Amino acid sequence: MKKIMIMGNWKMNLIADEVDELLSGLKSYPVKAGILAGAAPSYTWLLKGQEQFAETNWQLAAQNVYVKEKGAYTGEVSAPMLKSLGCNYTLVGHSERRQIFQETEEAIREKIAILLAHEIKPILCLGETEEERNSGRAEEVVARQLREGLAALPKGTKLFPIAYEPVWAIGTGKHCDPQTAADMMVFIRQELAQAQQQFDLSELLLLYGGSVNGKNFQGYLETDQIDGALVGGASLKAEDFIAIIKVAEDFLHE
């Protein structure tokens, strides 16, 4: 049975004491069967995450990775380092990295490759800007990001989580209406099913991200097209994040 994933992207937030408080709040909540719940703290806090999540079902994710194994790349963090910190997921292609750090499709492909080589699952993020949606290009943009991001993968690759995060819904409180998000998921599934590489979609999870909270998440699950959420703001307080997880648990038991 497919699981529901709820992943918290902490972005560049929280200092040491706040991290301790959040991690202890999260780990005191036992993640139930059927739910994949996790957090993506800054690199600085991954070791704390590893320690706190040890012997729990909480998943640890990184927000980024560098494309080389090791060497003279001052300031960067490698996939083997993430693996040794117990990370089993890493975000790739988040719109903030594409826009603010000019991350290219080539870099995204390289990051996916190095993560898979180290048995870390990428969470590939895609999504159109407001201007692209308003000009009727949302599907075109998402299809291109999907095609480009996955272009170097060999035939039959088992796909990892993919997060549809419309840029206009991120951090704005203007969440995308569930039906619009569900339509995009249907489109993404179609594109993947038609891809030349004949991907293995058995573990594909399609996540929605953009102003998700404990009040609106149920609407996404009810579309039956959405396998989880990538959560920013509402992942920074344990009670807010756990409220989203509880929505998923209730949905599974309905």
Min. distance of Cβ 234 from ligand 13P in angstroms?
6
Tell me if 212 contacts ligand 13P by CB under 6 A. yes
Annotated catalytic, 253?
Answer: no
Residue 77 to residues 42, 62, 66, 82, 211: CA-CA distances in angstroms?
11, 10, 6, 8, 28
Of the candidates 94, 96, 128, 132, the residue annotated as catalytic is 94
Closest CA to 177 of 141, 136, 210: 210
Q: Do residues 35 and 252 touch, judged by C-beta distance below 8 A?
A: yes
Using Cβ positions, the residue closest to ligand 13P within the complex turns out to be 232
Q: What are phi and psi of 124, to 5 degrees?
A: -80, 125
Angle, helices 105-117 vs 138-150, to 10°: value is 50
| Nearby residues of 145 by Cβ (< 8 Å), 6 or more positions away | 93, 105, 126, 127
User: Which range, of 71-79, 111-119, 215-223, 226-234, touches ligand 13P by CB under 6 A?
Assistant: 226-234
Give residues 23-62 in contact with ligand 13P (rule: CB under 6 A): none
User: Which range, of 30-38, 112-120, 206-214, 243-251, touches ligand 13P by CB under 6 A?
Assistant: 206-214
Any idea what DSSP says for residue 44?
Answer: G
User: Which range, of 109-117, 181-189, 215-223, 225-233, touches ligand 13P by CB under 6 A?
Assistant: 225-233
Near ligand 13P by CB under 6 A: residue from 141, 162, 170, 185: 170
Tell me if 231 contacts ligand 13P by CB under 6 A. yes
Nearer to ligand 13P among residue 195 and residue 231 (C-beta)? 231
Q: Cβ–Cβ contacts within 10 Å for residue 106, how many?
A: 12
Tell me if 210 contacts ligand 13P by CB under 6 A. yes
Tell me if 99 contacts ligand 13P by CB under 6 A. no
> Which amino acid, one-letter code, is at 23?
L
User: Which range, of 54-62, 145-153, 192-200, 210-218, touches ligand 13P by CB under 6 A?
Assistant: 210-218
Q: Do residues 192 and 159 touch, judged by C-beta distance below 8 A?
A: yes
Min. distance of Cβ 36 from ligand 13P in angstroms?
16
Nearer to ligand 13P among residue 58 and residue 195 (C-beta)? 58
Annotated catalytic, 94?
Answer: yes
Distance CA 128, CA 250 (A): 31
Of the candidates 96, 128, 132, 165, the residue annotated as catalytic is 165
Instruction: Write the burial class of residue 74 (CB in 10 Å: 0-12 exposed, 13-18 middle, 19+ buried).
Output: exposed
Which residues are designated catalytic? 94, 165
